[in-house]
């Protein structure tokens, strides 16, 4: 498989785009330590204000033409178009970042909040997740306005403050727009943005990238085992730790039934002309007739199984007894689930409660169902696909789902086309090790190509 940079094309489009200054502005944003926490008392509001100020001073045309409203630390910018019969679009991202793990600061090649521009990269927390998209959106809008583009369609730029934790910022902005009666043509958020070898789908020799139209549900299930403890010489009724271990094992070994969704089928129909390897070549010739076989294929693939199933990941357990000859008292554990679109948090809780029996109490710490599936026959999906094909050659773009989560789901109340794709296509190793990790960084080439993609999308949909 060739490198992702070899797919880049039309890099000379918009030759007067000042990439050097764009990188400098992103660097300034990274230097703002806008970390979000579930415990909001830990949030440093001054750092968010600092970032707001960077935005206000960096994009004079956006500020001149736009109407800014603040929703807590979240920022919503409205750029009114001349044709009010056209539904607006909303370009979104988030201002917050995850913390840098204490003690790892020295492991960074450049400081985690340095915003260093070095070695062809922009370094620091937020470079990939996802201040790059915040500032690329603003760079693209600023470029269009500077070049006297007449906006026919209204553009909203929505930047949330806590996507990494509670998603309250995007929820407030969505509620604000709904109250105003806004209905959107499409939303574009982060998600997707990877190019993989099509061999995963049986499309040998092809490159594939997913435009994500849905995201899985999320649940943190708390398991609690009560016990008075006692001497370990008399475990007549077992121990709380033993009961908890059995409960975790029972749940992990009994996943909910997997199913091929309509979105999975749409992905295969889109990719079918490229699928040249058996057994998938036969399977996609009649997807409905071979649905069970395709499901088995997905379930036996490390790359695909989580697209058709609710995943189960035991993640936390409390400390047991303080000595080897003491039975533990009350204990708890947490299992994280990412719910497939055909499952619900209600059916999951019921199934888990039946599996663990009366000794264990099951309850949710937090939980939400999978998002709606957005339209892939829509104007927004078509225009985004055309834009991506303009800048990334030889790639097949397919509708798919995010196996993680974003805050884009909050806008489903005012939009039926919520697209998740960040056009900052990087090498897999940089993404896998950098997002939420040490040495987070983005190449200048990838950042520039993302800006070009967003300029083009705005020109194609709002001009």
Q: What's the average model confidence in pLDDT over 53-74?
A: 98
CA 377/CA 399 separation, integer angstroms: 10
Among residues 159, 153, 45, 24, the alpha carbon closest in space to that of 92 is found at 159
Q: What's the average model confidence in pLDDT over 81-105?
A: 96
Q: What is the pLDDT of residue 362?
A: 97
Q: Which domains, ranges and CATH numbers included, belong to the chain?
A: 4-191+406-462 (3.40.630.10), 214-368 (3.30.70.360)
pLDDT digits (tens, 9 = 90+) for 347-383: 999 999 999 988 899 999 999 999 999 999 999 999 9
**Alpha helices in 342-378, H assignment, sequence order:** 345-356
pLDDT digits (tens, 9 = 90+) for 373-423: 999 999 999 999 999 999 999 999 999 999 888 999 999 999 999 999 999
Q: What is the pLDDT of residue 432?
A: 83
Q: What is the pLDDT of residue 237?
A: 82
pLDDT digits (tens, 9 = 90+) for 140-182: 999 999 999 999 999 999 999 999 998 999 999 999 999 999 9
Is 70 exceeded by the pLDDT of residue 1?
no
Torsion of CA 231, 237, 238, 243, to 10 degrees: -130
Whole-prediction pTM: 0.93
Is 80 exceeded by the pLDDT of residue 196?
yes
Q: What is the pLDDT of residue 116?
A: 98
Is 80 exceeded by the pLDDT of residue 2?
no
Q: What is the pLDDT of residue 195?
A: 95
Q: What's the average model confidence in pLDDT over 321-335?
A: 91
Task: Measure the N-to-C terminal CA separation of the chain; round to a whole number of Å.
Answer: 37
Give the pLDDT band (50/70/90) at residue 234: confident
Give the pLDDT band (50/70/90) at residue 288: very high
Give the pLDDT band (50/70/90) at residue 326: confident
Q: What is the pLDDT of residue 230?
A: 84
CA 420/CA 239 separation, integer angstroms: 46
Give the pLDDT band (50/70/90) at residue 433: confident
Beta strands in 95-246 (DSSP E): 117-118, 121-123, 155-160, 186-189, 196-197, 207-215, 217-225, 230-231
Coil, helix or strand for 297?
A: helix
Among residues 432, 436, 404, the alpha carbon closest in space to that of 167 is found at 404
Is 80 exceeded by the pLDDT of residue 236?
no
CA 260/CA 155 separation, integer angstroms: 36
Q: What is the pLDDT of residue 321?
A: 85
Q: Do the beta carbons of residue 379 and residue 186 sit within 8 Å? A: yes
Q: What is 204-215 written as a DSSP string?
A: TT-EEEEEEEEE
User: What kind and span of H or E run contains 94?
Assistant: strand 89-94
Least confident span in 64-78, 186-200, 230-244, 416-430: 230-244
Q: What is the pLDDT of residue 404?
A: 82
CA 98/CA 124 separation, integer angstroms: 11
Calculate what percentage of the chain has a pLDDT beyond 90.
Answer: 90
Helix axes 131-146, 45-58, angle to 10 degrees: 20
pLDDT digits (tens, 9 = 90+) for 329-339: 899 999 999 99
CA 456/CA 14 separation, integer angstroms: 9
Q: What's the average model confidence in pLDDT over 221-244?
A: 88
On average, the pLDDT of the chain sits at 96
- Greater model confidence, 233 or 34: 34
Is 80 exceeded by the pLDDT of residue 119?
yes
């Amino acid at each position: 498989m060739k490198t992702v940079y070899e797919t880049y094309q039309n890099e000379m489009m918009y030759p007067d785009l000042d990439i050097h200054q764009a990188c400098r502005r992103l660097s300034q944003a990274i230097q703002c330590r806008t970390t979000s926490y579930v415990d909001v008392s830990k949030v440093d509001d001054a750092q968010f204000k600092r970032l707001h100020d960077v935005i206000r001073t960096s994009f004079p045309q956006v500020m001149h033409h736009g109407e800014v409203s603040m929703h807590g630390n979240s920022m919503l910018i409205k750029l009114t178009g001349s044709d009010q019969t056209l539904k607006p679009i909303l370009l979104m991202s988030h201002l917050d970042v995850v913390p840098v793990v204490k003690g790892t600061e020295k492991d960074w090649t450049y400081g985690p909040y340095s915003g260093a521009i070095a070695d062809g990269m922009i370094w620091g927390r937020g470079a990939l997740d996802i201040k790059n998209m915040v500032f690329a959106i603003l760079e693209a809008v600023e470029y269009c306005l500077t070049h006297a583009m007449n906006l026919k369609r209204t553009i909203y730029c929505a930047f949330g403050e806590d996507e990494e934790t509670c998603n309250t910022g995007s929820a407030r902005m969505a509620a604000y727009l709904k109250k105003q009666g806004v209905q959107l043509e499409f939303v574009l958020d982060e998600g997707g943005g990877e190019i993989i070898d099509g061999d995963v789908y049986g499309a040998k020799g092809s490159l594939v990238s997913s435009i994500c139209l849905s995201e899985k549900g999320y649940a943190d299930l708390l398991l609690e085992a009560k016990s008075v403890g006692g001497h370990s010489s008399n475990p007549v009724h077992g121990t709380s730790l033993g009961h908890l271990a059995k409960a975790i094992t029972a749940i992990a070994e009994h996943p909910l039934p997997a199913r091929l969704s309509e979105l999975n089928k749409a992905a295969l129909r889109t990719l079918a002309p490229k699928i040249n390897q058996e057994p998938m070549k036969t399977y996609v010739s009649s997807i409905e007739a071979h649905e069970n076989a395709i499901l088995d294929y997905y379930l036996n693939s490390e790359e695909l199984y989580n697209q058709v199933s609710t995943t189960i990941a035991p993640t936390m357990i409390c400390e047991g007894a303080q000595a080897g000859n003491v039975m533990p008292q009350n204990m708890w554990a947490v299992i994280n689930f990412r719910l497939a679109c055909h499952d619900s948090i209600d059916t999951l809780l019921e199934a888990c409660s039946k599996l663990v029996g009366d000794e264990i109490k099951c309850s949710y710490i937090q939980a939400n169902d999978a998002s709606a599936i957005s339209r892939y026959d829509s104007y927004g999906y078509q225009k985004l696909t055309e834009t991506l094909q303009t800048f990334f050659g030889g790639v097949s773009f397919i509708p798919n789902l995010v196996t993680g989560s974003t805050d884009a789901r909050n806008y489903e109340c005012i939009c039926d086309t919520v697209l998740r794709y960040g056009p900052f296509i990087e090498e897999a190793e940089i993404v896998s090790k950098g997002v939420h990790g040490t040495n987070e960084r983005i190449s200048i080439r990838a950042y520039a190509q993302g800006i070009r993609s967003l300029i083009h999308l705005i020109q194609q949909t709002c001009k």
